[in-house]
Amino acid sequence: MTYRFDGYNWMIRLEKGEKLISSLTALIEKEKIKTAWIYGLGAADQVEIGFYDLEKKEYEWKKLDKELEILSLQGNISLIDEGPSIHIHGTFSGGDMQTFGGHVKDLTVSVTCELFLHNWFSSDGITRSLDKDTGLKLLDL
Amino acid sequence: MTYRFDGYNWMIRLEKGEKLISSLTALIEKEKIKTAWIYGLGAADQVEIGFYDLEKKEYEWKKLDKELEILSLQGNISLIDEGPSIHIHGTFSGGDMQTFGGHVKDLTVSVTCELFLHNWFSSDGITRSLDKDTGLKLLDL
Amino acid sequence: MTYRFDGYNWMIRLEKGEKLISSLTALIEKEKIKTAWIYGLGAADQVEIGFYDLEKKEYEWKKLDKELEILSLQGNISLIDEGPSIHIHGTFSGGDMQTFGGHVKDLTVSVTCELFLHNWFSSDGITRSLDKDTGLKLLDL
């Protein structure tokens, strides 16, 4: 992972073999990022995505081990008790250009992954708290 | 709907059962937002999306009543004579991770919907006017 | 193509028949844009998208000549020796709302295409250099 900060936003490059969530977590901790909106594109060769089952209050996970274009990543960084929270949804395509997507549990970069972080301009970050109705940690706004 | 403003951007959380367009319209009117770029992700259980038929100059609509992940919302807020104009395209996925999408007429939030509005930094907003060739209101730039 | 700058960001409207890459190239050269993150939505009637074959180190291209909604464009502008480099991934849908996508070689706008450029706030732009392992020009960060 290499990255640059322009005073407001972060531009990040992940290398082949790096994982999205652990790379972002390392960046967040090193640079003390509290809250930001995340965008990204690139390629991956391992993707684990989920679909939230609201009745069961748990994710159904699906793992894909093949070359994929990352068409779009969108999500955000916020704060929970245990540390940073990273919430990202992704759209991907295979060699047939067909797409699929879901809540990104994690992905392993293939070729490259380019991320843009739009910083939240406030000294105190935005937190998440457990919402009992949905079983998920929702943004405290 | 709850939201926060950092002086430049808006972070918004929609609740289960809230509709995207009427919620954004209420926010725009209350906070006097003129122009912004919209991003979002989350989940929905009712989605109405369209495909524009340029020959007929009308949208073909499709309604989906099932649990869906909102993979990506992207669009903008501008001004028309009647008030605010909200133009959003969305990509969605079901439990099989297959995706579909279109021009978002409206959607009903399930679980949560997280939106980010990047404000246009100009005191006068950007307007839209009817373009007779396409039958749509296009950005006046 | 018409566009406006708010001091930080660009809002762009492409017209029916205009091509994405040559339009952006013209804008970049005229306005001396060095680095920015790109977002977009709209409609296209010709799209050429690719999937990168990492073993062969070349793109497999697919051309589509039909009316499509542009659900999401995401990418960036950077600098290479020859001039500006535009890297964009896109998600598209047809009349059946089914989606597909890939690395955007180019597209021809139908109806309209609305783009938002989030400028990189640094006087020196970000460059790309050839990475021999992947065969692609990657961001120098």
- What's the pLDDT tens digit per position in B97-125? 999 999 999 999 999 999 999 999 988 89
Contact residues on chain C for A93, CB-CB shorter than 8 A: 51, 91, 100-102
Contact residues on chain A for C102, CB-CB shorter than 8 A: 69, 71, 93, 97
Measured between CB atoms, does A132 come within 8 Å of chain C? Answer: no
Predicted pLDDT at A123: 81
H/E run at residue C69: strand C68-80
Test the A interface: residue of B18, B66, B116, B117 with most A CBs within 10 Å: B116
Is C71 within 8 Å of B91 when comparing Cβ atoms?
A: yes
Average pLDDT, chain C: 96
Predicted pLDDT at A26: 98
**pLDDT tens profile A1-40:** 999 999 999 999 999 999 999 999 999 999 999 999 999 9
Q: What are phi and psi of B73, to 5 degrees?
A: -115, 135
ipTM greater than 0.95, yes or no?
A: yes
Closest alpha carbon within chain C to A10: C120
**pLDDT tens profile C40-97:** 999 999 999 999 999 999 999 999 999 999 999 999 999 999 899 999 999 999 999 9
B36 close to B131: Cβ distance less than 8 angstroms = no
DSSP assignment of chain A equals: -EEEE-SSEEEEEEETT-BHHHHHHHHHHHHT---EEEEEEEEEEEEEEEEEETTTTEEEEEEE-S-EEEEEEEEEEEEETTEEEEEEEEEEE-TT-BEEEEEEEEEEEEEEEEEEEEE--SSS--BEEEETTTTEEEE--
DSSP assignment of C82-113 equals: TEEEEEEEEEEE-TT-BEEEEEEEEEEEEEEE
- Tell me how far CA of residue C106 lies from CA of A75, B130, B139, C87, C102, in angstroms: 26, 27, 22, 10, 11
**Which residues of C, range 70-89, sit inside 8 Å of B by Cβ?**
70-72
Closest-CA distance of chain C to residue B60, Å: 8
| C66 residue type, one letter | K
Question: Counting one residue from B and one from C, how many pairs have CB atoms under 8 Å apart?
Answer: 104
What is the rounded average pLDDT of the residues C26-50? 98
* Cα distance between residue C77 and residue C88, in whole Å: 9
Nearest to C38 by CA among C50, C21, C53, C55: C21
A110 close to A18: Cβ distance less than 8 angstroms = no
Nearest to A76 by CA among A43, A114, A104, A48: A104
Q: What are phi and psi of C122, to 5 degrees?
A: -155, 135
Quick one: DSSP state of residue B135? T
H/E run at residue C28: helix C20-31
Report the percent of chain B where pLDDT is more than 90: 96
- The shortest CB-CB distance from A75 to any of B7, B41, B94 is to B41
C78 close to C126: Cβ distance less than 8 angstroms = yes
Q: Which residues pair with A46 in a beta bridge?
A: A108
